[in-house]
Amino acid sequence: MPGTERTRVRRKAKRGSLDTELIYSILDEALFCHVGFIDEGGYPVVIPTIHARQGNTLYLHGSPASHMLRTLATGAEVCVTVTLLDALVLARSVFNHSMNYRSVVIFGTPRLVEGDEKLTALQAVTDHTVPGRWDDARQPSESELNATTVVAIPLDEASAKVRNGPVVDDDEDYSLPIWAGLIPVSTVYREPVPDERLHPGVATPGYVENYRRG
Ligand SMILES: Cc1cc2nc3c(=O)[nH]c(=O)nc-3n(C[C@H](O)[C@H](O)[C@H](O)COP(=O)(O)OP(=O)(O)OC[C@H]3O[C@@H](n4cnc5c(N)ncnc54)[C@H](O)[C@@H]3O)c2cc1C
């Protein structure tokens, strides 16, 4: 990823990275992002939303009536962020407490997606959330497609930042009788709950069973 003045990580710069594969892997693991933009009234707004990556493109989707989608469809500049939390870092001093994380910040100008690419993008969004779901579920009708706006953001200006490691305390603090260490954090899927109106005899798909297995 080419660096720009905006994507140069300044604080703890060695944790910053422009590695495209790292950026992609964080975007692919995260289930949603936060989209920051300036609305028509001139106010900054940050909205959580689902995303999906296809190659060098990030797709967002939603109702044409959505404030965010309406603004983005006009090509308003955005800043999109994604964060994966990996651990709480408990140091001996309050000052050195931290978190292990992997995060991405993207700057870009969205474009409205139409035609075949719109369907590809919606498939990417669906399968990014639940891999294998698109082929199993009913495909969108013409009116459902018209009731969905999709925008694409090129992944040309993005950075990753990663903290991954043990507690780092000041030398004089290591002798203190205070517990220190990592508390790992992860997203856990629980037992799937079949819908009350499930058609009798519908088998649980393998991709749903996968969640049960963890
Ligand atoms: C995990 C997650 C995934 C989502 N995925 C999508 C998606 O793929 N597509 C999509 O269109 N929407 C998604 N949403 C909903 C999205 O966050 C907005 O609520 C939605 O776009 C509605 O926009 P709006 O134009 O009605 O509201 P806006 O006019 O944008 O918002 C008006 C005001 O409502 C409040 N508000 C709006 N949304 C939220 C919120 N999420 N939390 C708290 N306050 C809020 C804020 O004060 C905001 O200023 C998702 C939300 C979450 C949490």
CATH number for the domain spanning 155: value is 2.30.110.10
Within a domain: 51: yes
**Burial 156-172, CB ≥16 within 10 A → b, else e:** ebbbbbbbeeebebeee
* pLDDT tens across the length of the chain (214 residues): 888 888 887 777 788 888 999 999 999 999 999 999 999 889 999 999 999 999 999 999 999 999 999 999 998 999 999 999 999 999 999 999 999 999 999 999 999 999 999 999 999 999 999 999 999 999 999 999 999 999 999 999 999 999 999 999 999 999 999 999 999 999 999 999 999 999 999 999 999 998 887 6
- The pLDDT score that the predictor gives to residue 107 is 97
Within a domain: 119: yes
- The pLDDT score that the predictor gives to residue 142 is 96
- The pLDDT score that the predictor gives to residue 17 is 84
Please name the residue that has the structure tokens 């140069």. 8
- Report how far residue 202's alpha carbon sits from residue 206's, in angstroms, rounded to the nearest whole number: 12
Quick check: helix, strand or coil at residue 122? Answer: helix
Within a domain: 130: yes
Which helix (H) or strand (E) element contains residue 116? helix 116-129
How far is the CA of 26 from the CAs of 35, 77, 191, in angstroms? 16, 22, 25
**Atom 23 in ligand 1: residue holding the nearest Cα:** 66
Atom of ligand 1 nearest to the CA of 62: 11
- The pLDDT score that the predictor gives to residue 8 is 82
- In 3D space, the residue among 29, 117, 110 whose CA is nearest the CA of residue 68 turns out to be 110
Whole-number Å distance, alpha carbon 112 to ligand 1 midpoint, is 19
**Atom 10 in ligand 1: residue holding the nearest Cα:** 62
Within a domain: 82: yes
CA angle 192, 198, 199 (to 5 degrees): 140
- State whether the beta carbon of 30 lies less than 6 angstroms from ligand 1: no
Within a domain: 211: no
Within a domain: 199: no
- State whether the beta carbon of 70 lies less than 6 angstroms from ligand 1: no
- State whether the beta carbon of 41 lies less than 6 angstroms from ligand 1: no
- For residue 73, what are the domain limits? 13-89+99-165
Q: What one-character DSSP code corresponds to residue 139?
A: P
Whole-number Å distance, alpha carbon 48 to ligand 1 midpoint, is 6
- The pLDDT score that the predictor gives to residue 136 is 96
- State whether the beta carbon of 20 lies less than 6 angstroms from ligand 1: no
- The pLDDT score that the predictor gives to residue 40 is 86
How many structural domains is the chain composed of? 1
